[in-house]
Chains A and B, each alone.
Chain A
Amino acid sequence: MPEISPFVPAALPKTPTGIDGLDEITAGGLPQGRPTLVCGSAGCGKTLLAVEFLVRGAQQFDEPGVLLTFEETAAELAANVASLGFDLPHLQAAGRLRLDYVHLDRAEVREAGAYDLDGLFIRLGHAIDAIGARRVVLDTLEALFAGFTDEAILRAELRRLFRWLKDRGVTTVITAERGEGSLTRQGLEEYVSDCVILLDNRVIDQITTRRLRIVKYRGSAHGTNEYPYLIGEEGISVLPVTSLRLEHPASDEIISSGVPGLDALFARRGWYRGSSTLVTGTAGTAKTTLAAAFALEACRRGERCLFFAFEESPAQLLRNLRAVGLDLAPYVTQGLLRLDASRPTLNGLERHLVTLQRAIRQFRPQAVVIDPISNLIAVGSLSEVRSMLTRMIDFLKVQGISALFTALLHARAGQVEQTEEGISSLIDTWLVVRDLEDRGERRRGLSILKARGLAHSTQTRELRLTERGIELLDTVLAASGSLTI
């Protein structure tokens, strides 16, 4: 009896788009040699996604592309995407890209008898052959329906067009306008069965958020969620959770917190490199100072540190920290420390995340401080903040960056639980600073709420700000015993 060999599924060949994040959620890109439909309402970036697919293909993957545009002339299109750093005329001159504007005007053409769209096929074929194109974009094919009246002919020709594109083996992106109750206005999804991507533009609390979803992808696993995406200065960024499988490396190296008294609370005198630390506390509990000590210590080790300040300007921050013996200015001059100050409410959450990631990619720090992350809650709902932080922390972990976040807690009850629910699972080390009222004196108490993989003291120490920095004194016990958070 012949042995039955185990079934090994052949991997579907894919064409990487080169678009930030999109290749991750499609597990490698668009189906190679097949058409993909990108649909969405007006202004959600369909054309841009399609153009970026061509530009990245020509620049990064040595795949020339043809763009057949029905709505904008080649010059208009080139001007529109120039602000995103896409130099279409240059790519055209280099023979990496070919633009053909198809002008359609029903008023100029009358139909008198049977016809087909061979002219379109010939133009497309000519453009593909001229530069050896591997990628094609049709933006937007539905304009044909405005140019011709005979729908039966059009539909037959569309079917023939998609068949023809597949036979040519070019990877095609077709854009289409979102329809009422259907994916596209003219039902193009009927002809494209391999991959359909839906773009969506919505306004929540006066902030526009864009979402991308893979509606279907025949023969391939793909992310099924709605992913936020942005149109930034360098094109489209889709924001997937970068490491869905928690495969980041774990360093065994211990780094100092920058506060000797705090290090002493850990059996190994500090926490792990590449771990995430959260400092929470009510107003005025020296969270920023703790964060600055951590940043300063990183710079002393000769590492680069990026400090995101969402509450104070760099000048004010430097002045205030100098008053407690933390002089960051020399490291700023040396270029080891970069202070990045902005108000998060100016941007939506996603844009914020992209801004942070971009700054981190540029500066390539070993340590990052975000002071505070709770400011972000002003921008989005807790679940949104949580999903953004998951992405942020994942992004940092994959790169082995040691991170410290601060979060403001209000004195009223419930806040800690909320934070706990929100981000505790993402955090490795959690420090809590709280106010201790003792016989008319307000003191600060610091304790370690959790520290993954580290033996640590469970006592509360008194935290004092001195001219020499932060000092931790031996255990304090409030006379009232009211050690409530």
Chain B
Amino acid sequence: MDPTIAPLPGTAHEFCLYVAGATPNSTRALRNIKEICEQYLAGRYVLRIIDMQQEPQLAQQEQIIAAPTLVRRQPLPPRRLVGDLSNRATVLAVLELDPPPLPATLLP
């Protein structure tokens, strides 16, 4: 799994996704968060993926219990989401992202 996407200048959003190996839940969560980031924050975000099986001490430090867990570090305040992030409305609300733009085909 690609752990890091290189930070870009002017980054406003920083996310960590804690997973426990390549489970179906973590694969779905990764796909969902990438989609959301590309749609709303293209070029303005960093996403780190942390496999707790490789770094169990990070799970303790960061008080992670559920997998997958998404932590937003920036902007403050920090936010936490657990689950495969399939409930997009909740994810967008917690991350305070604007409602999705209408698809281009529906624009006048």
Contacts and interface: CB of A to CB of B under 8 A. Distances in A.
Interface of A: 100, 102-104, 108-123, 125-126, 144, 147-148
A114 B84 contact: yes
Contacts of A118: 20-21, 23, 52, 66-67
Interface stretch (B8-16, B40-48, B55-63, B97-105): B55-63
B28 A113 contact: yes
16 contacts: A108-B80, A109-B69, A111-B81, A112-B81, A112-B91, A114-B84, A114-B86, A115-B84, A117-B65, A117-B67, A119-B65, A119-B66, A119-B67, A120-B66, A123-B60, A144-B65
B6 to A, nearest CB: 27
Chain B at the A interface: SS class: mixed
B74 interface: no
A103 B53 CA distance: 20
A112 B68 CA distance: 10
Contact of B59 (A110, A116, A122, A148): A122
B52 A110 contact: no
Given A104-B65, A119-B20, A119-B66, A113 B29 contact: yes
Contacts of B80: 108-110
Q: Which one of B83, B86, B88 has the highest number of Cβ atoms from chain A below 10 Å of its Cβ?
A: B83
B18 A112 contact: no
A123 to B, nearest CB: 5
Given A117-B67, A119-B64, A119-B65, A112 B85 contact: yes
Interface residues of B, number: 34
A122 B23 CA distance: 14
B59 A123 contact: yes
Given A123-B59, A125-B56, A110 B81 contact: yes
Nearest to B70: A112
A119 B25 contact: no
B59 A111 contact: no
Contacts of A109: 66, 69, 80-82
B84 to A, nearest CB: 4
Contacts of B60: 100, 123, 126
Q: Which one of A104, A111, A114 has the highest number of Cβ atoms from chain B below 10 Å of its Cβ?
A: A114
A120 B32 CA distance: 23
B56 A117 contact: no
A453 B66 CA distance: 70
Nearest to B60: A123
B69 A119 contact: yes
Contacts of B4: none
